[in-house]
Amino acid sequence: MRKTRNAVRALLAALAALIVVFVALVAASQPSGRAEEPSEVLEASEDYMVTAADMQLPELPTGCEATAIATLLRLNGVDASKTDIADVMPKSDTDFVHSFLGDPYSKNGGCCMSLCAVETMRKFLVGCSLIGYETEGYDLADLPTPCVVWVTIDLAEPQGPLKTQGAYSMFYPSHCLTVLGVDDDTVRTIDPLKGYEEYPRDKFEHVYSVLGKQAVYIGKE
């Protein structure tokens, strides 16, 4: 009888030890907190995961160009932030073609044209097998994607020109965004004010045309 009790005790002790090991293994297999959750992702499309890095606010109230260029660089594997671009971008109180007019960190800042954007972008491509290109006059469907284009906020009807410089004109409310793709009826974009956004192609093409069909993109040297 005593042998039987001892055997039962030994069996129970072995089972208890197995339970402890099992619980430890289960706990180790569970995710630890939220570490692996993509909490920084604001929106996702089939093309891209939009994060706060793609949004101009709050740092750059008028820095849509810098923000869109940074997004374009990252889409091409180049590590650059919107503030990196804004800091390097030349600034002027009069020239909006080769410089940013005003300060992109200010709500009273202006804008820049594709020439300023591409020259700024090229500074981040030194030593790469990539180069920044600037185009004017290309139809939307003929642009390589991804690319950055000039339109207006919410595709509002362009007001102006408010200012001209050579062949360039400034319209209100000027806006830059990154085009991911052009479909039959829609244009898929990363808008620095909205995140991932799809716009009607006909309206997009109209505004893009009024603003001079300006675009910048990255390609092989």
CA distance 71 to 111: 17
Amino acid at 96: F
Pick the CATH number of 58-220 from 1.10.150.20, 3.40.190.170, 3.90.70.10, 3.40.50.2300: 3.90.70.10
Domains of the chain, residue spans: 58-220
Give residue 44's pLDDT band: very low, low, confident or very high (50, 70, 90): low
Q: Would you state the structure tokens that stand for residue 214, as one six-digit string? A: 């300006």
pTM (two decimals): 0.80
| pLDDT attached to residue 45 | 55
| pLDDT attached to residue 99 | 99
At 125-137, the pLDDT tens digits run: 999 999 999 999 9
Give residue 119's pLDDT band: very low, low, confident or very high (50, 70, 90): very high
Interaxial angle between packed helices 64-75 and 114-122, expressed in degrees from 0 to 180 and rounded to the nearest 10? 50
Give residue 43's pLDDT band: very low, low, confident or very high (50, 70, 90): low
| pLDDT attached to residue 47 | 59
165 Cβ contact partners less than 8 Å away, ≥ 6 residues apart: 95, 96, 97
| pLDDT attached to residue 110 | 98
126 or 41: which carries more pLDDT confidence? 126
Q: How many CB atoms lie within 10 A of CB 65?
A: 32
User: Taking 70 as the threshold, does the pLDDT of residue 156 lie above it?
Assistant: yes
Q: Would you state the structure tokens that stand for residue 194, as one six-digit string? A: 């909205």
Which among 5-9, 15-19, 96-100 has the top mean pLDDT? Answer: 96-100
